[in-house]
Amino acid sequence: MTIVSGLPHSSRPLASRSGSSRMNHRSVAVDRLASPRPRLFEAVVWLLPAVAYFVFPDNLALGVSIMTYAVAVLALDLVLGYAGIVSLGHAAFFGIGAYAAGLLAANGWREPLTGLLLAGAASLMIGFFASFLVVRGKDLTRLMVTLGIGLVVYELANRLSSITGGMDGLSGFEVSPIFGVFAFDLYGKTAWWYVYGVSLVVFIFLRFVVSSPFGLSLRAIREGVNRMPALGASVNSRLRIAFTISAGVAGIAGGLLAQTTQFVGIDSLSVPRAAEFLVMLVLGGTGRLYGALAGTAIFMIAHDYLADIDPVYWEFWMGLLLMAVVLFARGGIVGALFNLVPSLKARFGRAAQ
């Protein structure tokens, strides 16, 4: 009960509540990147990694990892935050992309950009077939079906060890320089700019998708599934499209991992990895794209920092951090920030009256 009454509009009479909720709805729509036009803060956010490159030159490895995983978490945000499908199987697509990119390089296709696109295409295809399984049922059912898909794919990769390397992983492949010029180096400089560029392109693409009529219809489906068919929209096919796109993007993230680390471990398609994606997304906040970025960065930096201080018991502190975020920053870190703005406005606005 305490939680609900904490919201600004809940204790007001019904009439004004409907008004404020409409207003609230509009402000949420703005927060959730409904407009295709980029805003100033977005440029600032995307400058941050570039600044970090020069400020923390010793931490490029972590930076590359963060941006790689951020792409996968963005993919998850499309299905979870926008289409409302809880997926605990996204590591499957991430891993399929990673293996596709790794196997291409191992078999002589060393050009990274086309390799990356093919990796995305491979996941996209598998994602399309999987999408038929995930539109049925409610949250828990979908959670378990996607989990099941993840487990089956993992076991397949384990069984096909003559191709995938099984538990020992896929190794011993090399990737050509980007554009034939920039070779991947020990310090991770090339990898850093490569992953930064790819993640920016992916972000712009997803930003475009979520603010398109298709993206808006996804949100409408999420907020009231029953009304959508009346508007002439096929709910299931839209959800399937969103899931398929998301799988493709997750595959690109996996491809980045394979290309920048010259290694694919079977853990890249494990359930713990999928759970990690989910945790990172929820930590940052769903349905905002920027939540995915912030959640990934915060989770991974905290993980590295805590594991360096306390290699044995870092999980304890990590757990405390996650619980604290839920208790004090409901809706994820970015979600809480966005919620803060209207509630501050409302408070000051009321005081002015």
Partner 1 sequence: MIRRQFLLGAAATVAFAVTHPAFAADTIKVGLVLPMSGPFSQYGQQMQNGIKLFMKEHGDTVAGKKIELVIKDDGGIAPDRARRAVQDLIVRDKVDILAGFTFTASALAAAPMAKEAEKAMIVMNASSSGITEASPYMIRIGQTLPQITEPAGRYAGEQGFKTIYTVVADITAGHDAEAAFIRGLKSTGGEVAGSLRVPAQNPDFAPFVQRIKDAKPNAVFAWLPPGEAAINFIKEFNQRGLAAEGIVMLGTGDLTDELTITQTGDAGLGVVTTGHYSMAHKSAKNEAFVKAYLADYPNEKWPNFLSVSAYDGMAVLYHGLEKTKGDASGPVITEALKGEKIESPRGPIEIDAKNRDIVQTIYVRKVEKVDGRFANVEFHEFPESRDSAAAK
Partner 2 sequence: MTSNIIGILFDGLAYGSLLFLVGVGLSITMGLMNFINLAHGAFAMAGGYVSVYLGQKLGMSFLLTLPFAFLGSALLGLVAERLLFQRLYKATHLDQVLFTVGFVFSSIAAAHYFFGASQQMSAMPDFLQGQTRVAGVDLGKYRLLLIAVVAALTVALHLTLSKTRFGAQVRAAVDNQDAAAGLGINVGLIFSLCFALGTGLAGLGGALGIEVLGLDPGFPLKYMVYFLLVVVVGGAGTIRGPLIAAMILGIFDVAGKYYVPEAGAFIIYVLMIVLLLAFPSGLGGKRA
Residue with tokens 């980007």: 178
Q: Of these, 312, 327, 351, 352, which contacts partner 1 (CB under 8 A)?
A: 312
Closest contact distance (angstroms) between CB of 62 and partner 1 is: 7
Q: According to CB under 8 A, which one of 2, 230, 308, 353 is a site residue for partner 1?
A: 308
Q: Does 307 bind partner 1 (CB under 8 A)?
A: yes
- Which residue, among 176, 186, 151, has the nearest Cα to 270 in the 3D structure? 151
Site membership for partner 1, residue 156 (CB under 8 A):
no
Per CB under 8 A, which region of 70-78, 143-151, 235-243, 255-263 contacts partner 2? 143-151
DSSP structure class, residue 330: T
| 177/4 Cα distance (integer angstroms) | 55
Select from 34, 61, 144, 200 the one that contacts partner 1 (CB under 8 A). 61
Tell the burial category of 307 from Cβ atoms under 10 Å away from its Cβ (0-12, 13-18, 19+): middle
Rounded to 10 degrees, the C-alpha dihedral 198/63/248/121 comes to 60
Residue whose tokens read 């992309």: 97
| Least Cβ distance, residue 350 to partner 2 (angstroms) | 24
Task: Work out whether 144 is an interface residue with partner 1 (CB under 8 A).
Answer: no
Nearer to partner 2, 189 or 330 (CB): 330
Query: Of 109, 128, 263, 314, which lies in the binding site for partner 2, with binding defined by CB under 8 A?
Result: 314
Is 70 among the residues that bind partner 1 (CB under 8 A)? no
Q: Is 26 in the site for partner 2 (CB under 8 A)?
A: no
Residue 183: exposed, middle, or buried by beta-carbon count in 10 A (0-12, 13-18, 19+)? exposed
- Cβ contact 225:72 at 8 Å: no
Task: Return the one option of partner 2, partner 1, none that residue 179 interacts with (CB less than 5 to 8 A, by type).
Answer: none
What is the DSSP secondary structure assignment for residue 81, as one 8-state letter? I
| Other CB atoms within 10 Å distance of the CB of residue 346 | 16
Which residue from 62, 253, 280, 334 is in contact with partner 1, where contact means CB under 8 A? 62
Only segment of 124-132, 182-190, 202-210, 285-293 that touches partner 1 (CB under 8 A): 182-190
DSSP H helical segments within 173-234, as ranges?
189-211, 213-223
C-alpha span between 294 and 329 (Å, rounded): 13
Q: How far apart (Å, rounded) are the C-alpha atoms in residues 237 and 247?
A: 15
Q: Nearer Cβ to partner 1, position 21 or 171?
A: 171
- Residue 310 sits at φ, ψ, to 5 deg, of -140, 80
Based on the shown chain and the rule CB under 8 A, indicate whether residue 265 belongs to the binding site for partner 1: yes
Output 102 or 215, the one with its CB closest to partner 1.
102
Of 110 and 330, CB closest to partner 2:
330
Sign of dihedral through CA atoms 106, 111, 114, 120? Answer: positive
Q: What's at 329, amino acid-wise?
A: A
Chosen from partner 2, partner 1, none, partner binding at 58 (C-beta under 5 to 8 Å by type): partner 1
Q: Name which of 106 and 282 has its Cβ closer to partner 2.
A: 282
Using the rule CB under 8 A, is 152 a contact of partner 1?
no
The least distance separating partner 1 from the CB of residue 153, rounded to whole angstroms, comes to 15
Residues near partner 1, by CB under 8 A: 58-62, 65, 155, 158-159, 161, 165-169, 171-172, 186-188, 257, 261-263, 265-268, 307-315
